[in-house]
């Protein structure tokens, strides 16, 4: 009887301890996660800055097919920090008198002129297929994004450099026209 009580107390303590340990572990882990996220964010931010400014530049170096709207709608599927960065770049800006709007890409592709899909954001192959039919300029930093015939503009990174690659066939098939100024500084794929 006494031993059963002892066992029960022990079990209770162990259970609590396990909870506490799990809680502590969670704390540490989450701390680590937070830290590593923060770290990754810090180191990649200059590259992300350049990508955001490229996205802004695309609006003036690429001609959208007719009929054109009275604004540019950016649809962005990216982590919060990247979304914020692009927002900061385009907020209040106009290209040829047309205001630039930005919203998260939440499955609704209607009205998007440029879709930026950040590497690592989940997407299914079905969703990829729908992107293809969106009539938007498709931009991503995912590996081989422009080699599968769907993507149009890719950010390629090596070491400390960002490079833009274009799939001209996909871009031209969708009716876009790229200015020579941009063509001169990018990698072109067919």
Q: How far is the CB of 82 from another protein (least distance, A)?
A: 13
Residue with Cβ nearer another protein (131 or 138): 138
User: In which order are the strands placed within the sheet that holds 72-77?
Assistant: 94-95, 98-104, 72-77, 114-117, 137-140, 153-158, 161-167, 187-189
Long-range contacts of 8-14 (CB under 8 A, 24+ apart): none
Which of 41, 61, 71, 121 is close enough to bind another protein by CB under 8 A?
61
Q: Cα 131 from chain centroid?
A: 14
The CB-of-158 to another protein minimum distance in angstroms stands at 5
Q: Which of residues 70-89 bind another protein (CB under 8 A)?
A: 85, 88-89
3-state secondary structure at position 135: coil
Task: Taking each helix axis as running N to C, give the angle between helix 80-90 and helix 2-61, from 0 to 180 degrees, rounded to the nearest 10.
Answer: 30
Instruction: Restricting to residues 129-158, name those near another protein by CB under 8 A.
Output: 158
Give the C-alpha separation, 68 to 87, whole Å: 22
CB of residue 189 to another protein, shortest distance in Å: 9
* Shortest separation between residue 15's beta carbon and another protein, angstroms: 46
Q: Single out the residue of 41, 47, 123, 174 in contact with another protein (rule: CB under 8 A).
A: 47
174 is a contact residue toward another protein (CB under 8 A): no
- CB-based contacts of 169, cutoff 8 Å, min separation 6: 189, 190
How many residues form the binding site for another protein (CB under 8 A)? 40
Among 41, 57, 123, 135, binds another protein (CB under 8 A): 57
Tell me the sheet residues that pair with 37: none
- CA–CA gap between residue 122 and residue 181 (Å, rounded): 33
Nearer to another protein, 4 or 184 (CB): 184
Beta-carbon neighbour count of residue 54 at 10 Å?
19
Instruction: Find the binder of another protein among 31, 46, 65, 175 (CB under 8 A).
Output: 46
Please identify which residue in 93, 119, 148, 173 interacts with another protein, judged by CB under 8 A: 93
Binding site for another protein (CB under 8 A): 46-47, 49-50, 52-54, 56-57, 59-61, 63, 85, 88-89, 93, 95-96, 158-164, 168, 172, 177-188
């Amino acid at each position: 009887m006494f031993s059963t009580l002892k066992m029960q107390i022990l079990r209770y303590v162990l259970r609590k301890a396990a909870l506490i340990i799990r809680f502590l572990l969670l704390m540490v882990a989450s701390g680590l996660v937070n830290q590593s996220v923060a770290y990754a964010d810090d180191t990649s931010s200059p590259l992300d800055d350049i990508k955001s400014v490229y996205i802004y530049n695309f609006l003036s170096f690429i001609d959208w097919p007719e009929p054109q709207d009275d604004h540019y709608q950016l649809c962005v599927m990216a982590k919060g920090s990247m979304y914020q960065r692009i927002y900061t770049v385009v907020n209040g800006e106009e290209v040829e008198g047309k205001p630039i709007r930005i919203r998260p890409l939440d499955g609704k592709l209607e009205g998007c002129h440029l879709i930026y899909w950040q590497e690592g954001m989940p997407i299914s192959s079905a969703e990829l297929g729908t992107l293809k039919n969106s009539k938007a300029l498709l931009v991503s930093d995912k590996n081989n994004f422009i080699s599968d015939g769907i993507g149009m503009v890719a950010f390629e990174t090596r070491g400390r450099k960002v490079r833009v690659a274009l799939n001209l066939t996909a871009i031209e098939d969708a009716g876009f026209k790229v200015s020579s100024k941009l063509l001169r500084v990018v990698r072109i794929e067919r």
